[in-house]
Each structure stands twice: as structure tokens, then as C-alpha cells.
Amino acid sequence: MNQPQEFVVVDIETTGLKPAEAEIIEIAAIKVQNGEIIDIFQTLIRPEYGIPAFITNFTGISENMVQESPPVVEVLIPFCEFIDHLPIVGHNIQFDLKFLNYNTKQYFGQVILNRSIDTLPLARKHIKGTKNHKLETLANYFNIDTTNNHRALKDCYMTLEIYQKLTK
């Protein structure tokens, strides 16, 4: 597969698993050009319906942290401008795109049509002998620091390192 010279690594954190029932509470993206990070986008998002306790326990994102954050509708345009037309790299990226597209369609009548590159099937193809192919498992496999994982920007960094190792 032809690897792009410029791309964005994207990750989101949500209040649940289904876009129609849950909300995005954090978006992060890392813009990469010729293997170097050239820009970063990251913001917490104030959900309309609050953050369940189990999500706070999982992500570390609390109601207090998002109190002054913008709602998702205010974040989507600058996020879409940031990713532009670039290929999107993510771990299980269809999950993230499902949420992003649900919201962009709801608020703006459009979806994100960028090429996407998913590190999950790449890892399944190239890495054998791990108990699963979750982001944290792969990070441990490659000796990548997992401190503060399940936060969007940290997960972007971990995904970028995994992607770079899988495509060498």
C-alpha cells in the first residue's frame, strides 16, 4: 500500500458506543508531514447530557473538566479545517468516523470523505501472538508509553507510533 507523506492521526473520546445515544467529549488530531509532527489539534467538548461515571473512570474526563469547553457544533468546523483533505489514520478509525460523521451530518448536512487508514487491520495482519489488537496492547508490544491513554491526544501519539512501526 502506498503510504501518504502527509496525513492526520485522529482520535475521539465519547460518552458511549452509539453515535445516536452518546456524545463526543474530546477530539484530537496530529498532522504529520514526511514523518514529522507539524501541527496538533486538541479540545475537550462539553456534552449536552453529561458524562457517565464509568466514562470518567475510563478516560479521566470529568464534568468539571468540560464545563468551560465548547459544544461539539463549535468544534466541528475548525476540526474539519484542520484535517482538510488529508488521509486520516486511526486505530479502529471507523468508530471515530461514525461519531464524527453523525455529528457533521446532523449539524452541517455533510460527512467526512477523506481516505482513512486503520491501524487495527494492519496490526491484525502483521502482529501475531498478542492476546488482542487493542491500542494499549499494541503500545505495550512496541514498548510505547501508555500513561494517560484513553485521552484523545495521547491515543493519537500512540497510534502514530504504532502506524510508523507497522509501515516500516
Measured CA distances, 72 to 7, 34, 46 (Å) = 23, 31, 7
pLDDT score, position 71: 98
Cα separation, 142 vs 161, in Å, equals: 9
Mean pLDDT value of segment 121-150? 95
Maximum C-alpha span of the chain:
44
Question: Are 70 and 45 contacting, i.e. CB atoms less than 8 angstroms apart?
Answer: yes
Please report, as a single letter, which amino acid is at residue 23. Answer: E
First vs last Cα of the chain: how many Å apart?
12
- Per DSSP, 84 falls in state T
Q: Is the pLDDT assigned to residue 2 strictly greater than 80? A: no
Mean pLDDT value of segment 34-62? 97
Residue 69: count of CB within 10 angstroms of its CB: 17
The yes-or-no answer on residue 150 being catalytic is: yes
Q: Which domains does the chain have, with CATH numbers?
A: 6-166 (3.30.420.10)
- Residues above pLDDT 90, as percent of the chain: 96
pLDDT score, position 3: 82
Question: Are 114 and 101 contacting, i.e. CB atoms less than 8 angstroms apart?
Answer: no
Mean pLDDT value of segment 131-156? 96
Mean pLDDT value of segment 63-82? 98
Beta bridge pairs of residue 41: 29
pLDDT category at 1 given cuts 50, 70, 90 is low
Which tens digits make up the pLDDT trace of 74-133?
A: 999 999 999 999 999 999 999 999 999 999 999 999 999 999 999 999 999 999 999 999
